[in-house]
Amino acid sequence: MKHSVSAVLLLMAVSRPAMADLELDALLSEEIITTASRTPESSRTAPALSTSITAEQLRIYGIRTLAEAIDFLALGVASSGPNQHGGEVELGSRGVLLTKDSGSHFLLMIEGHAINEVSYGTARFDRGAGIPLEMIDHIEVTVGPGSVLYGNNAMLGVINVIIKRGSEVDGGYVLADGGSLRSYRVGAGAGQAFELFGEQGDVVLALEYYDRKGPDFIVGPQYPDPDFETRTSRAIDTSLPWGGATGDTNYTRVPAVIFALEYGNVQIHGQAKHSTFGQPMSQHFFNEVDAQVLDKSLWFDVRHQLVLPHGVDIVSRAYVDGFTRRETWFVDSAQCGPELNGTCRQEQVRLAHWGGVEFRGSVDWWEDQVLVSSGGVDWRLRRTGSKIDRFSESTDQPLTSSIGDFDVDDTAYGAYFQQLWNPTPTLGINASARLDQDERYDPVLSPRAAVSLGLWDGGVSKLVYSKAFRAPGRFVTDLQSPERISPVDLRPETVQSMEFSVEQTTGAHRAILGVFYTAWRDMTEVHVLTGDERLAIGAFTQALDFEIEQVRNVSQITNYGFNGGYRASFLDRQLTAGVNLTYALTQEERDEGDRDLTVAPSTSGNARISYTFGESLPTLGIAGAFQGTRLVDGAYSEGTNSDDTPGLRFNPFPDAAPQLDLRMTLSGKVLGFSYRLTGDYAVVDHGPYVIGPVQRPLPTDTTAELSPIKQLTGYGELSYEF
């Protein structure tokens, strides 16, 4: 008996430090999310599936863009794009990816400031985002409908980039990096805490310039049929083949600056960027050096936080944004005008300026986080416009007056209310709703209800219902041109989601498994008018050598599946590892029948492992991102048979093989400098996008050419902190 008592006492003495270590590991591994409810809370109980990507992870795994952070580190989200290192990256979530949406179904925020512009909803997740990664504290990725707090665009999810505070930087840095894509980046930043007139302050500022002149691709040749009935959707000179080597026309240039200032109860944030992307694989003419997309944006906001007694918190915010896009491409005389015997340059300018004020507040009724009510209102004044100009390539003189010209001012309103109730330490309830008003459509209600329940020690279950919407931008509803007519009774897209998940946390180990179901309604698409539809509006096929388009609500989507993730650290956090997996079944319902979505993978995921060898030794990070088989964006394109009957399809039926992207990064410090060396290998050399003028099958060419991918790339970076 004496020995038994001694053994128990010894076990208790040993287990107490072990339990303390587990609790410390759990605390260090806890992900704090502010995006899901606009209040700090654990990702385990937040009313949505959320991932927090840290600055340390960005460094260890050689991350260079938001899209890469999502692909290699987030759960439930994957990216794609027609040009691996240029063009606009498209984001998909849980088996749904909507092509050619310019990022408008994901809401991108920087410090809670919505970045998506208001004319179309465009947001950049590639180099064009213009966010110096060295200044990122963490990235919150919230998957699923998020309109309840943020309104438009938050259908697939919300990504919020949190910038470091000056006290965290406490100095500055300069850096330079280069890569095998003939790219380089230079940047500098600084941050500092300060005290002025008895008030505490904090400031950060970062600038960078990125330039790329590659990679070189060899594509084509393609010979489109000159007959309109079987030609691609855009006219092209068919006397020469499309294709060859891209050379320096596959370029990107992005200067950017971002800053944040906090002084007392006032915060000021802002960003300016100017991104230029070459378009070497345009459908019109190949390798035109002046074919490009130029985006410029500038925004800043000012916030004031007032903390009152008895748990009352009030935030007021004023903001202004400006966005301009200029797209330049070349076409032949069929589109420029029959009197011109040659090619011409077309330029489309799209602008969006908006500003507004927001007021939100919260009341912690008993000042113990048991019952918290919050709400807010947002009023926004918007101006949007667009025009298309055509110039002679030889004389650079305008051929016609501007077409598709519009300039519109309007206002938008939004108001939300949220109620949090935690009646017991293991039960949490979140009920909220938002109402958005726009003069072009009926008010849209976005509700959400979530319940989290503690099951056992470290175990939490969540059940969430939410709804979101995306309203058509003015660029969609107001643009008219010879090639596009105005939509009729166009309705906002909506999505409803139901998800259930169970999460277990034990020390530094976290596992999550969840199932979901989403229903999408009134999805929009650019519809090409049939011959009968053209006749109905007086546009005779034989009199026009181009297609006529109209944006319509055309489909519904049903989607369900599961998410799973696991992460852990060992050896006093020297060794870390994680894996995420998503599987979804998705069907699109259309008048002509049900079909699978294009580009969106049914299976996607990532895995990673890192090891820190020691303080003066490097850290090794290895990561992989996987996407399963995907139908290409033109999989359902239909051409005309040789006997002029419709129904010709690509042969073989085009899909992109499963893609595995592997990355290894070494990072550390030497002689006072920080370094990072990264090698990346993509197993498959093509992506899920049809390129070139043959966007639909021709009797003379029934094979789809897919977007090329540079399989092996490398990068090196050197920085100095002071």
> What pLDDT score does 12 carry?
38
> What pLDDT score does 528 carry?
83
pLDDT digits (tens, 9 = 90+) for 238-275: 556 888 898 889 999 999 999 999 999 999 999 999 99
d(CA 74, CA 137): 16
pLDDT-wise least confident of 159-168, 295-304, 593-602, 694-703:
694-703
* Token pair recorded at residue 108: 């991108």
> What pLDDT score does 25 carry?
53
> With contact defined as beta carbons under 8 Å apart, do 641 and 667 qualify?
no
DSSP code, position 357 = E
pLDDT at 17 over 70: no
pLDDT at 351 over 60: yes
d(CA 15, CA 505): 19
Mean pLDDT of 614-621: 90
pLDDT at 541 over 50: no
pLDDT-wise least confident of 333-347, 362-376, 390-404, 672-686:
333-347
> What pLDDT score does 563 carry?
95
CATH number at residue 649: 2.40.170.20
- Domain residue limits at 94: 31-721
379 or 248, which is more confident: 379
Residue 11, domain member (yes or no): no
**Which DSSP string corresponds to 641-698?**
-TTS-EEE--SSPPEEPPEEEEEEEEEEEETTEEEEEEEEEESSSEEEEE-SS--S-B
297 closest CA partner among 325, 277, 265:
325
Residue 148, domain member (yes or no): yes
> What pLDDT score does 9 carry?
36
Residue 16, domain member (yes or no): no
Residue 71, domain member (yes or no): yes
Confidence of residue 40 (pLDDT cuts 50, 70, 90): confident
Q: What residue type is 29 in one-letter code?
A: S
Task: Give the number of other Cβ atoms within 10 Å of residue 29's Cβ.
Answer: 18
pLDDT digits (tens, 9 = 90+) for 485-520: 889 889 999 999 999 999 999 988 999 999 999 999
Residue percentage of the chain with pLDDT more than 90: 67
d(CA 706, CA 700): 18
Residue 2, domain member (yes or no): no
Residue 6, domain member (yes or no): no
pLDDT at 709 over 80: yes
> With contact defined as beta carbons under 8 Å apart, do 699 and 648 qualify?
yes
Q: Taking all residues of the chain, what is their mean pLDDT, rounded to a whole number?
A: 88
> What pLDDT score does 546 carry?
66
Residue 316, domain member (yes or no): yes
| DSSP element (H, E) containing 131 | none
Phi, psi of 16 (to 5 degrees): -60, -50
pLDDT at 234 over 60: no
pLDDT at 644 over 50: yes
**Helix boundaries (H) for 286-413:** 333-336
d(CA 562, CA 496): 16
pLDDT-wise least confident of 296-300, 412-416, 461-465, 534-538:
534-538
Q: Tell me the residue ranges of DSSP E strands in 335-397.
A: 344-364, 371-392
3-class SS of residue 543:
helix
d(CA 442, CA 595): 30
Residue 648, domain member (yes or no): yes
Torsion of CA 688, 693, 698, 704, to 10 degrees: -20
> What pLDDT score does 338 carry?
52
> What pLDDT score does 81 carry?
87
pLDDT-wise least confident of 45-59, 93-107, 184-198, 634-648:
634-648
Entry pTM: 0.92
Total domains present in the chain: 1
